[in-house]
Amino acid sequence: MEKILVTGGAGYKGSILIPMLLDRGDKVICYDNFLFGPSPLLHFVTHPNFEVVEGDVRDVNKLSVQVRKADTIIHLAGIVGFPACASDPDRANTVNVNGSLNLAMSMSKLQRLLYASTGSVYGSVNGTCTEESETGPLTIYGKNKLESERIFIDRLDNWVMFRFATVFGISPRLRADLLINDFVHQAIHNKQIVMYEGHHRRTFVHIKDCASVYPFALDHWDEMRGEIYNVGDDRGNYTKKEVADQILKHVDYYLHEADIGEDLDKRDYTVNYEKIHKLGYEAEVSVEEGVKELVKVMSFVRYHNPWRNHG
Ligand SMILES: NC(=O)c1ccc[n+]([C@@H]2O[C@H](COP(=O)([O-])OP(=O)(O)OC[C@H]3O[C@@H](n4cnc5c(N)ncnc54)[C@H](O)[C@@H]3O)[C@@H](O)[C@H]2O)c1
């Protein structure tokens, strides 16, 4: 039985991943400061192989106690996405960078680390993006994630890192700020989508496929260790306009193509996923299927505005 520590396990990704690990027979500790509350964990919290510890990755003493109990650490905790990081850069730096440093300092060289990085570390890329493409993050978020990659590469021997496409789909900790999730929410509730840079090529991966790469890597460790992988699927390379067109098949809405607005991460490229595909990893859920799933759920997801008498 493998003992796995998942930092940030109560988040969008962790709350889908942890049940997969428990199903494999692993013993899991979730270490999270519950920025969004503990409810994403409630449907499996009573599992006998699951333990929850409320803690902050900035607290090196508390973190290292949990790290010592684990064979493998999956590091998800963080301030995620460029808007959240830009709203409080100091918090982003201390959580995302110092948190990674605390983790690296707490780990032994033998322990395995899986780190969730992002395609935002590439910044602006011409043409097709591979793991060899030059990095040049443009936002605090992208810079934090690249700095963390370097911390782990410099200090640890036994690691695998993933640079994920933008995730979409339903999770117990639903994130409505992700592009496809947000578009579906806008289409249903506003009856319009305001879209800028519609021709920009982006790359997407469903939350279940994003989570399933972790058990995949645990099962293919010797082949994968010491390498960085783009995680997604060629079929997930879409322009924003193509995503909007998919939604139009299921929701009647007006697409407003706005002149104002820009992606600060300058993501406008096709990503190549051959490196991980060669090992046998395949993303299974298409954007079309994910959109259908989101349409089913987003009609119940409403933002409450306390300053209005309705809605
Ligand atoms: N969702 C995506 O599209 C995407 C894409 C690429 C990479 N990632 C990476 O995957 C990881 C998980 O992302 P997510 O989408 O689940 O985000 P999320 O915001 O839903 O989850 C982050 C979790 O970290 C916890 N956390 C925040 N600050 C903490 C702290 N100081 N100490 C302990 N826990 C803390 C939060 O409570 C939350 O449960 C992140 O590292 C993110 O950078 C996500």
pLDDT, one tens digit per residue, over 123-168 is 888 888 999 999 999 999 999 999 999 999 999 999 999 999 999 9
Using pLDDT thresholds of 50, 70 and 90, give the confidence band for residue 291.
very high
235 CA distance to ligand 1 centroid (A)?
25
Is there a domain that residue 299 lies in? no
Is there a domain that residue 195 lies in? no
- Report whether residue 95 contacts ligand 1, using a CB cutoff of 6 Å: yes
Cβ atoms of residues 115 and 93 within 8 Å:
no
- Report whether residue 98 contacts ligand 1, using a CB cutoff of 6 Å: no
Helices 179-190 and 287-298: crossing angle in degrees, nearest 10, is: 40
Q: By alpha-carbon position, which residue is closest to atom 1 of ligand 1?
A: 167
CA proximity to 210, closest of 169, 270, 246: 169
Tell me what percent of the residues of the chain surpass a pLDDT of 90. Answer: 86
12 CA distance to ligand 1 centroid (A)?
7
Q: List, for residues 60-107, the tens digit of each pLDDT value.
A: 999 999 999 999 999 999 999 999 999 999 999 999 999 999 999 999
CATH code of the domain containing 54: 3.40.50.720
Is there a domain that residue 38 lies in? yes
- Report whether residue 149 contacts ligand 1, using a CB cutoff of 6 Å: no
- Report whether residue 181 contacts ligand 1, using a CB cutoff of 6 Å: no
Q: Measured from the CA of 94, which atom of ligand 1 is nearest?
A: 31
Instruction: Give the domain range for residue 84.
Output: 3-168+204-231
C-alpha distances in angstroms, 307 versus 104, 185, 233, 240, 287? 45, 21, 43, 32, 36
Q: List, for residues 4-25, the tens digit of each pLDDT value.
A: 999 999 999 999 999 999 999 9
- Report whether residue 33 contacts ligand 1, using a CB cutoff of 6 Å: yes
Torsion angle in degrees (nearest 10) through CA of 118, 119, 120, 123: 150
Which range scores top for mean pLDDT: 171-175, 234-238, 259-263? Answer: 171-175
Is there a domain that residue 93 lies in? yes
Is there a domain that residue 131 lies in? yes
Predicted confidence (pLDDT) at residue 190 exceeds the cutoff of 90: yes
Alpha carbon 33 to its chain centroid, in Å, reads: 17
Structural domains counted in the chain: 1
Is there a domain that residue 174 lies in? no
3-class secondary-structure state, position 160: strand
Is there a domain that residue 307 lies in? no
pLDDT at 311: 59
Is there a domain that residue 128 lies in? yes
- Report whether residue 80 contacts ligand 1, using a CB cutoff of 6 Å: yes
Q: List, for residues 198-221, the tens digit of each pLDDT value.
A: 888 889 999 999 999 999 999 999
